[in-house]
């Protein structure tokens, strides 16, 4: 299978539903170590993305680019530029939407998020879910299905491994040692994104 | 949650309608982009000054739009930075041909969104944009391993001083120099007696016992560095002023001091606290040349206060005394 316009639309529709369902959880996680707005912000942005009609776009790249711009324009906070940059870079590298294309897109998305947020693995951010997901995708080999399944598992593992860490970037870093032992909201929403990809794209 | 609101999702939009209704002679509001403009923007030949950030800090920044201060304020959702589209719209609108300065508080979201707006403005061409990122909060350890010090109270003083410099007709480089000097010479420290409740979250951001206070807070209801036992005002004043004085030398120059309320503390307590602060400063031989006491950079209904100190000089005092005509700050006119 490939990531084409239809499957990209299904992916983001599923993610919007996941974000809506988990908005209170995300805001609650953010209340503990941030400023209590991650769920409501992402929900506002993904509602706007879900309102896009895939029929208005020529291909997955054009659609995903618009999704990125929509997030930049509606979310605000740190998540807006970070998720927006992720999708803009992802769209730019997707190529044919085959396994190699999706792998390159994920890697480009990760690089974009690192660059925009000036964060690295271990800073207790969304990168702690995204980076292991990209590594697992690349290690998993030829099939998009296996690669995405491995990526989703790695994202969830990365999210959980970030929980005991002390935050070094973002709002949570102001808490210093008190940020340890709290699940990171950004790593949580990023895990939902990769899990959504695995759920909607695998087996299509 | 008990608040005077309609729907949590409409708080900012509804408040903007009220701000416009209250100040039709001085301000106009772009409701689509959620930007507050001074009525006569763009001012030809004047450097345009834009600030903005999450809402919930009123009067900052919308209340500081007007002659002698900002040309526009971009209003984000509650405690959420605005988006690049808003800053782009505001940048184009207030450019009077002399370029635009973005005044940004050091929070990850604000910095990233303003950065994207500046990149987009550069690609779009035409307007020269410079930025100043304020980072005056001594509660945050400034190191490679944090997001750096938060921008808090100094932002208010900076908007006034830089606003006066721009109003005088100084060019963008000169205005930027004043901005850097003010940020470099200013320090702040805050504390909270209660949390606040973000409307979209519906419950308090953190819990504090009757006998506890949170010291080293920012302006978003985020907890501070540590909880401490509640103490008499004179001890709290010392806990706020001492970290400021040990971080920067305020002796031998006039100081501008702001005793700021976080939104839920009455003026009687702020004046009481200001009295305690001046007592400490006098004992250290620091002379206060100008002051502000009141709610200027708030955190919704949070009870608490912050102290901001700026090491001034004759030029900064002159800029401070220049006329300003905004809903939140008005003198000399």
* Number of other CB atoms surrounding residue B318 within 10 Å: 13
Residue of B23, B57, B61, B102 marked catalytic: B57
Residues of chain B neighbouring A81 (CB-CB closer than 8 A):
84, 109, 112-113, 115-116
Active site residue B31: no
Active site residue B220: yes
Strand partners, B72: B37, B50
SS3 B273: helix
Residue B28 has pLDDT above 80, yes or no: yes
pLDDT 10s digits, B298-322: 999 999 999 999 999 999 999 999 9
Residues of chain B neighbouring A117 (CB-CB closer than 8 A):
108, 112
* pLDDT (average), residues B14-24: 98
The pLDDT of residue A144: 94
CA nearest to B149, candidates B159, B136, B158: B136
pLDDT 10s digits, B205-242: 888 999 999 999 999 877 677 899 999 999 999 999 99
The model's pTM? 0.93
The pLDDT of residue B220: 85
Indicate the helix (H) or strand (E) that contains A115.
helix A99-117
Tell if the CB–CB gap between B222 and A81 is shorter than 8 Å: no
Higher pLDDT: A139 or B225? It is: A139
Instruction: Please state the ipTM of this predicted complex.
Output: 0.88
Percentage of chain A with pLDDT > 90?
A: 87
The pLDDT of residue B140: 86
The pLDDT of residue A50: 98
The pLDDT of residue B125: 61
Average pLDDT, chain B: 95
The residue of chain A nearest to residue B215, with distances taken between CA atoms, is: A175
pLDDT 10s digits, A24-60: 999 999 988 888 889 999 999 999 999 999 999 999 9
Q: Which of A80, A117, A178 sits opposite B113 (nearest CB)?
A: A80
Q: Which residue has the tokens 């208005």?
A: A56
CA B297 to chain CA mean position, Å: 5
Do B153 and B260 contact (CB within 8 A), yes or no?
A: yes
pLDDT band at A148 (very low <50, low <70, confident <90, very high): very high
CA distance A146 to chain B (A): 35
The pLDDT of residue B123: 76
Residue among A27, A30, A31 with most chain B CBs within 10 A, to mutate: A31
The pLDDT of residue B147: 83
pLDDT 10s digits, B117-126: 988 877 776 8
CA distance B161 to chain A (A): 27
φ, ψ for residue A11, nearest 5 deg: -60, -55
pLDDT band at B143 (very low <50, low <70, confident <90, very high): low
Q: How far is CA B69 from CA B21, B173, B328, in A?
A: 20, 17, 10
pLDDT 10s digits, B77-116: 999 999 999 999 999 999 999 999 999 999 999 999 999 9
CA nearest to A174, candidates B105, B223, B213, B188: B223
């Amino acid at each position: 299978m490939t990531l084409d316009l239809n499957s990209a639309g299904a992916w983001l529709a599923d993610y919007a539903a996941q974000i809506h369902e988990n908005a209170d959880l995300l805001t609650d996680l953010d209340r503990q170590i941030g400023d209590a707005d991650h769920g409501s912000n992402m929900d506002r942005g993904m509602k706007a993305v879900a309102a896009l009609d895939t029929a208005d776009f020529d291909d997955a790249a054009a659609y995903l680019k618009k999704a990125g711009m929509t997030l930049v324009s509606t979310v605000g906070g740190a998540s807006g530029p970070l998720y927006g940059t992720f999708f803009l870079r992802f769209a730019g590298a997707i190529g044919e939407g085959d396994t190699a294309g999706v792998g390159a897109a994920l890697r480009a998305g990760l690089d974009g998020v690192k660059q925009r947020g000036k964060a690295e693995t271990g800073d207790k951010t969304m990168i702690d879910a995204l980076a292991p997901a990209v590594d697992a995708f690349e290690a998993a080999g030829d099939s998009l299905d296996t690669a995405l399944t491995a990526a989703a598992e790695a994202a969830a593992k990365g999210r959980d491994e970030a929980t005991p860490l002390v935050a070094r970037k973002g709002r949570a870093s102001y808490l210093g040692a008190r940020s340890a032992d709290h699940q990171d909201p950004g790593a949580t929403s990023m895990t939902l994104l990769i899990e959504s990809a695995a759920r909607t794209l695998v087996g299509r | 949650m008990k608040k005077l609101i309609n729907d949590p999702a409409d708080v900012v939009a509804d408040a903007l309608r009220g701000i416009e209704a209250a100040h039709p002679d001085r301000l106009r509001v772009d409701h689509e982009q959620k930007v507050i403009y001074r009525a006569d923007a763009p001012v030809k030949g004047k450097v345009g000054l834009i600030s903005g950030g999450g809402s919930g800090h009123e009067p900052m920044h919308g209340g500081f739009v007007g002659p002698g201060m900002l040309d526009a304020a971009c209003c984000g959702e509650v405690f959420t930075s605005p988006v690049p589209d808003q800053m782009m719209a505001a940048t184009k609108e207030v450019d009077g041909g002399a370029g635009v300065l973005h005044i940004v508080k050091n929070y990850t979201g604000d910095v990233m969104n303003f950065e994207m707006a500046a990149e987009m403005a550069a690609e779009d061409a035409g307007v020269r944009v410079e930025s100043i990122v304020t980072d005056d909060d001594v509660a945050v350890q400034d190191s490679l391993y944090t997001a750096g010090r938060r921008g808090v109270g100094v932002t208010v003083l900076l908007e006034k001083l830089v606003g006066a410099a721009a109003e005088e007709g100084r060019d963008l480089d000169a205005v930027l120099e004043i901005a850097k000097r003010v940020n470099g010479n200013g320090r702040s420290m805050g504390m909270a007696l209660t949390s606040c409740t973000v409307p979209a979250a519906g419950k308090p951001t953190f819990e504090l016992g009757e006998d506890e206070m949170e010291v080293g807070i920012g302006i978003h209801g985020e907890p501070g560095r540590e909880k401490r036992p509640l103490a008499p005002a004179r001890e709290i004043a010392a806990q706020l002023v001492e970290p400021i004085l040990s971080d920067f030398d305020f002796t031998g120059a006039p100081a501008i001091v702001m005793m700021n309320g976080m939104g839920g503390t009455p003026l009687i307590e702020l004046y009481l606290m200001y009295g305690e602060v001046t007592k400490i400063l006098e004992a250290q031989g620091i002379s206060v040349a100008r002051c502000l006491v009141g709610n200027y950079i708030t955190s919704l209904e949070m009870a608490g206060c912050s102290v901001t100190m700026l090491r001034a000089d004759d030029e900064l005092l002159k800029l401070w005394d220049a006329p300003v005509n905004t809903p939140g700050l008005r003198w000399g006119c």
